Structure 1
Amino acid sequence: MIIKNLEVKHETIPLKVPFKTALRTATEIESVEVIITLENGITGRGAAAPTYVITGDSLESILAALKGPIKAAIIGRDVKEFQLLLQSVQSCCVGNTSAKAAADIALHDAYSRLIEVPLHTYLGGKKTLSTCMTIGVDTPEKMTKAAKSAVADGFQVLKIKVGANPELDIERIQKIHEAIPSYIKLRLDANQGWRAKQAVQIIHEMESRNFNIEFIEQPVPSYDLDGLKFVTNRVSTLIMADESLFSVKDALKLVAGRYVDLLNIKLMKCGGINEAWKIASIAEANGVGCMIGSMMEPCFSVGAAAHFAAAHPNIHYFDLDAPLWLDGDLDVLTYHRDQVILSALPGVGDVQTTFQGIKKDAT
């Protein structure tokens, strides 16, 4: 079944409330949609969003890569040469992981629509998914208010952004911990905001206060792998790599060297579902668990990530709340409290609008 065309569209989607991390504050996302059309009229969709401070991809670079080398690599070829097509997307240009992810998702969507099964069925599984809710970095008072709101909305795991002001981080977590039920689990994401020795000191203090922390993401800069290992080896809390992990080669190094306890896989960083599957399998072979994460990105790409997470046996943690921050209709995913419900339609799914969003005063 020959791929006849590839189209690219983009739109700006505002967020309900600003999303604040140690790296940036976002008030909107640029959503890029790619549509591939097969000769029988079946289409496959993919999506991406630029995140300068993480992937280095801009709106312009994503559009150029999709319209240029990626389109040239797949037009006129048979979608049934599926693995070869996925390899061609990865090898047609250097970098551009967000554009590659959008194309990879579109190919997976088209192929599973062609064989008339949901994407998770094609990938081989369907586990139950529940997401954490992210609490953006802010004053301790505003973060506490957001945490209480998320718990009231039914979220049992909170991902707390820290690192923008390390001196305040312990106070932030202390106030949140005091304001929510003791069974609520916390995940901390420093977004590279601490130094190695500083991270060890902060984590030791948090451990002494029994904050019910499940794990801590990327406490040190992405390039400081020695610092990452320094922290991992000196604290009891599990440490997860995020910005230090982009490629399969990164995964090999991180797990072989025991730099971290866990990996956070994001389609926009690694280049799509096929590469994500390889990373999760490498980690599984080395006894390292994985989380599926998401940027501030379109619902469709998060939906594709959710299908992948539902199928791969080594995805144990789920961070799929990004669509709940978008000020607009959701497609392909339905949320009920903290549960993430996949479409049962072929591919990633068709456009749906059923959702329960976060409250306007969440931060």
Structure 2
Amino acid sequence: MVIQDIQLGRIALPLRHPFRTALRTVESIEDVVVRVVADTGEVGYGEAPPTAVITGDTLGSIECAIRDFIRPSLLGMEVEDLDGIMGRLHSCIVKNTSAKAAVDMAIYDLYGKRFGAPLYQLLGGARGELETDLTISVGPIDEMVRDSLEAVERGYRALKLKVGKEGRQDIERIAAIRSAVGPDILLRVDANQGWEAKQAVSIISALEDRGLDIDLVEQPVKAHDLAGMAYITQRVATPILADESVFSPLDAIEIIRAGAADLINIKLMKTGGIWQALKLCGIAELYGVECMIGCMLESRLSVAAAAHLAAGRSVITRCDLDGPSLCAADPYTGGPVFDGPRIVMSGDPGIGVGDIPCQSWS
């Protein structure tokens, strides 16, 4: 099976509610989609969102990287030669991790189809079902409480609360949500780099003192502030999750050795795809560190690829794969079934998602 062409398109989907964090506000998604065509007629699909505030990637930069650098480097290569393909993918242009991720997952989609097996089984087959949390956007307390109760009514047993814009006032919004949803719902707190180190220790310690039982706190300080992350991790009991601080396997090694976090958040748009994410999983396994699998504002197409990775590897113990649940529509068929908090892997070969809603490919 030889790569004959790599084509580009775009998809646009509205969100159920505006997505608000300490970094940005988004009301709909517009992502780049990739179609890798093999000489056999088989097709693999991938997707990349423009998340400039985190990855530095825009719609234009993603398309340029794929069209002008990645495509010419990979045409004519055998799909079975995964290491050779990925070596070229990651060496033909630096950074541009979202563009690489879209092509990477399309190649893995073809790889699974080549061998007639769901991708998660080829990646280890750790489990056939996952459970994801649901993100609650930062906002007024009454609005966050309302959204949290709505999520619980939809069956979600874990919520990720976006905070980081108002310092210690975040304590009251988290306390209000805990009071509303009760003690049995997992609460995860994501500051999206919005706090300072000493402030974070003060806030997290207050959450602990009030018995709010927080499952983890994600990226409390700036991505580059590993000293600040270590300062926090060493002074609180609540597990600290590194997100924006971790793009590469080397980042993971540095954070683990520095004691800068208890957990690692893997996102394909940061790692540049499944191939590098598998290396990160291996490092985490070596050091005995658990991982979360996350996503950006992505549709079911690329979130399905992340689900295959999570279902394949047991070191991934938490899922934040709520992209499809945040979208107001799901135009796809095939692949993993996203049923509220439940993600059930299917027997479709590869990633399995089809019927890509793209009007034109170029």
Q: Identity of paired residues, percent?
A: 44
2:350 pairs with 1:347 = yes
Shift of 1:302: 0.4
Corresponding pairs, count? 353
Q: Is 2:44 the counterpart of 1:41?
A: no
1:225 and 2:226 correspond: yes
**Secondary structure at 1:277 match in 2:** helix
| In structure 1, C-alpha distance between the alignment counterparts of 2:39 and 2:337, rounded to whole Å | 31
- Return 5+ residue gaps in structure 1 as ranges: 354-363
The one-letter amino acid of 2:347's match is A
* CA drift at 1:181: 2.1
1:126 is displaced (CA, Å) by 4.0
Cα offset for 1:330? 4.8
**Aligned twin of 2:257:** 256
Residues 104-145 of structure 1: CA deviation (Å, up to 9, x unaligned) = 000000011011111111112041300001100000110000
Give distance in 1, aligned partners of 2:296 and 2:344: 19
1:57 aligns with 2:33: no
Give the Cα separation in 1 of the matches to 2:39 and 2:355: 26
Q: TM-score, normalised by structure 2?
A: 0.95
SS in structure 1 at match of 2:178: helix
> 2: CA distance between counterparts of 1:229 and 1:240?
11
Matched, 1:206 2:223: no
Q: Would the aligned equivalents of 2:301 and 2:353 in 1 still touch at CA under 8 Å?
A: no
Partner residue, 1:76: 76
User: Once structures 1 and 2 are overlaid, which stretch shifts more, 158-167 or 332-341?
Assistant: 332-341
Cα distance, 1:87 vs structure 2: 1.5
Q: Deviations over 1:234-287 (max 9, x none)?
A: 000000100000111101101122211000000001100011111111011111
| Cα distance in 1 for residues equivalent to 2:331 and 2:144 | 25
Partner residue, 1:143: 144
Match of 1:360 in 2: none
Q: Is 1:235 aligned to residue 217 of structure 2?
A: no
Matched with 1:120 is 120
| Shift of residue 78, structure 1, vs aligned partner | 1.2
Output the aligned Cα RMSD: 1.3
The one-letter code of the counterpart of 2:109 is D
Q: Which residue of 2 aligns with 1:191?
A: 192
Instruction: Kindly provide the amino acid, as one letter, of the partner of residue 271 in structure 2.
Output: C
Q: How does 1:85-104 map to 2 (within 5 A)?
A: 85-104=85-104
- Deviation at residue 317 of structure 1 after TM alignment: 0.5
Question: 2:337 pairs with 334, 351, 354, which one?
Answer: 334
1:297–1:323 CA contact under 8 A, matched in 2: yes
TM-score, normalised with respect to structure 1: 0.95
State the match for 2:2 in structure 1: 2
Residue in structure 1 matched with residue 321 of structure 2 by the alignment: 320
Aligned to 1:288: 289
Structure 2 unaligned spans of 5+ = 357-362
Q: Tell me by how many angstroms 1:338 deviates.
A: 1.5
Aligned counterpart, 1:171:
172
Instruction: Tell me how far 1:352 sits from its aligned partner.
Output: 7.7
